Structure 1
């Protein structure tokens, strides 16, 4: 699992006093930075590999300004050219949101998907969500 600490900004707070619902997808994306680094180490958008094709966000608790949040990112499923991520957002030890995102390893120049290279696959396998974690968080 990858862990990323997020410090909420005042500008992310909405009129009802909690972090706006449009902010959480951006925070989940910040938790994917280690994955982006794996696929495109030079950060060159001309060679960018990870293209998002689906995301599903579920809010479970409100998130507030003034308290750090933590994004947990696992690999849920690893296909030939795609991967599904399972992500959770915690604040003060409370599960506040769950997200799933599907990415494809994509060649922008050729406009088609490509198999995930073996060396990247080996690193991603280290972050697979195991059955015990699935049972614990899926029941919450």
Structure 2
């Protein structure tokens, strides 16, 4: 695991996730070699991240007509540990690793039958729809991210 700079101890890291979203690999997500295309895992990250933010009530704020902020992906990384194939049932986990002023670092983990298949990390920044500049998290949002 030395190549995973954001993980010190895989077992400890894996046990600290508390939110997961089930995903079933669709045929259209596989490549000519029969395994999941490497770009698809970023879609799984997005799907799980959106469900996570919905659960905290953030998506409802960002999508509301009067909302002035939106989340954007600043960077995203994925590390592949095991191949996945059509019809595999996996759980994609997400957690907050660090909360900044207007950004949050998220960690991701994909598991199949209890085995870690992929890991990832990324930074999300809350920005103003009008200016494109970063917008500081409210104290309530920070609290929810810490608790959830």
CA RMSD of aligned residues (A): 1.8
Name stretches of at least 5 consecutive residues in structure 2 with no aligned partner.
1-17
> What is the alpha-carbon distance in structure 2 between the residues aligned to residue 41 and residue 108 of structure 1?
15
More displaced stretch, 75-84 vs 7-16: 7-16
2:7 matched to which residue of 1? none
TM-score by length of 2: 0.78
> What is the alpha-carbon distance in structure 2 between the residues aligned to residue 34 and residue 118 of structure 1?
21
> What is the alpha-carbon distance in structure 2 between the residues aligned to residue 119 and residue 34 of structure 1?
19
Name stretches of at least 5 consecutive residues in structure 1 with no aligned partner.
128-140
| 2:59 matches 1:40 | yes
| 2:98 matches 1:98 | no
| 1:40–1:48 CA contact under 8 A, matched in 2 | no
2:102 matched to which residue of 1? 81
2:90 matched to which residue of 1? 69
Once the two structures are superposed, the pairs formed by residues 1-140 of structure 1 within 5 Å of their partners are 1-37=18-54, 38-41=57-60, 43-44=63-64, 47-127=68-148
TM-score by length of 1: 0.82
Residue 4 of structure 1 and its aligned partner are, at CA, apart by: 0.4
Residue 33 of structure 1 and its aligned partner are, at CA, apart by: 1.1
Moved over 2 A (4+): 34-40, 42-48
